[in-house]
């Protein structure tokens, strides 16, 4: 399976989990926004989450990445549903979508790599063939994840608090 197919499948499952989560609003306490949680903390927190999804996904042959997918996107759906019971659509959009434009693709790419890399490595070992193109592409995707995470942290730290 190609990486594009893995990304497409992960994206479809993420969307379905998000929609499913919308049907399960929960009574959650609103946490106050911690203004001290700045760019650096957000960046390293998100980067750690992305690379943990990749690394543990590789170690578990993608199982951890699939669990990460289920937990994150289902919870985003039920958090959205919960917020919509108390806040306007505009408020909810400003809480999620603005920095999610960068963070969600980074999550999807991380999850996809956590599923794709171990199976690609197994294929290379079985075929006894070194695929330099796949390794170069994986390095490029790591850079894209890093850049998306930088942009997500910047938007979450500097723009999202002003919109809420």
- At residue 36, the pLDDT reads 61
What is the rounded distance in angstroms from the CA atom of residue 135 to the CA atom of residue 75? 33
Q: Hey, where are the domains in the chain?
A: 3-18+40-163
At 164 the pLDDT is 64
Averaged over 133-155, what is the pLDDT? 93
- In the chain, the percentage of residues whose pLDDT exceeds 70 is 94
Q: What single-letter DSSP state applies at residue 25?
A: -
pLDDT of residue 33: 54
Residue 28: per-residue pLDDT = 65
- Mean pLDDT for the stretch of residues 103-122: 95
Half-sphere exposure of 143 (CA within 13 A, CB side): 6
pLDDT higher than threshold 80 for residue 39: yes
Pick the residue with more confidence: 69 or 125? 69
pLDDT at 130: 77
Confidence tier at 79 by pLDDT (50, 70, 90) = confident
- pLDDT-derived band of residue 135, with 50, 70 and 90 as boundaries? confident
pLDDT at position 145 is 97
Mean pLDDT of 84-91: 84
pLDDT for position 32: 56
Query: Is residue 74 predicted with pLDDT exceeding 90?
Result: yes
How far is residue 33's CA from residue 47's CA, in Å, rounded to a whole number? 20
Question: Angle at Cα 112 formed by Cα 21 and Cα 48, nearest 5°?
Answer: 85
């Amino acid at each position: 399976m190609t990486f594009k197919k893995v990304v497409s499948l992960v994206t479809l499952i993420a969307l379905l989990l998000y929609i499913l989560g919308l049907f399960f609003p929960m009574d959650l306490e609103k946490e106050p926004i911690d203004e001290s949680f700045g760019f650096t903390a957000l960046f390293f927190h998100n980067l750690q989450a992305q690379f943990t999804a990749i690394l543990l996904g590789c170690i578990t042959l993608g199982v951890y990445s699939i669990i990460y997918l289920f937990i994150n996107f289902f919870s985003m759906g039920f958090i959205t549903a919960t917020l919509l019971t108390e806040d306007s659509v505009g408020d909810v959009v400003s809480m999620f979508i603005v920095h999610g434009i960068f963070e969600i693709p980074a999550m999807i790419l991380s999850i996809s790599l956590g599923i794709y890399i171990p199976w690609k490595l197994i294929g290379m070992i079985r075929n006894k063939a070194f695929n330099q193109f796949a390794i170069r592409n994986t390095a490029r995707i790591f850079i894209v994840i890093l850049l998306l995470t930088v942009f997500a942290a910047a938007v979450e730290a500097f723009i999202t608090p002003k919109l809420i």
